[in-house]
Structure 1
Amino acid sequence: MYGWIWRHLPGPFAVRVLTAVLLIAGVVALLMFVVFPWIEPKLPFNEVTTE
């Protein structure tokens, strides 16, 4: 899959690297600001009881 993405990025090597870094940063930002806050209340890790 990564090879397929790399082959479909436009431009020379430097532009491909920059585009790949921007894509990775976008995915990380989407996960950190949208997906993880949405799923965090649904996880059972906050229901910890000690005796």
Structure 2
Amino acid sequence: MKRKRSAALILLLVALVAIIAAGFYLGVTHQEARPAGASTPDGAPPAPGK
């Protein structure tokens, strides 16, 4: 019985680490959709005349 409990705990910890790692990966690689030409890459509004 103790062996089943420790195996379940290890599986739970592995799953938790996998979920956290996937979240960090998706957060780092996420690109927010933006309309073309709406602003410069630094978020400042485009210069007048452009």
Counterpart for residue 12 of structure 1? 4
C-alpha distance after superposition, 1:5-35 (max 9, x if no partner):
xxxxxx70000000000000001001102x1
Q: What are the ranges of 5 or more consecutive residues in structure 1 without an aligned counterpart? A: 1-10
TM-score (norm. length: structure 2): 0.52
Query: Which structure has more RCO (C-alpha within 8 Å, separation ≥ 6)?
Result: 1
TM-score (norm. length: structure 1): 0.51
- The share of aligned pairs that are identical, in percent, is 3
Query: How far does residue 38 in structure 1 lie from its aligned partner after superposition?
Result: 2.9
**Going by fraction, where is helix more abundant, 1 or 2?**
1
Q: Distance in 2 between matches of 1:47 and 1:24?
A: 35
Q: Distance in 2 between matches of 1:14 and 1:38?
A: 35
Structure showing greater radius of gyration is: 2
User: Match for 1:26 among 6, 18, 31?
Assistant: 18
Counterpart for residue 37 of structure 1? 28
Say how many residue pairs are matched: 36
Amino acid at match of 1:28: I
Give runs of ≥4 in structure 1 deviating > 6 Å: none
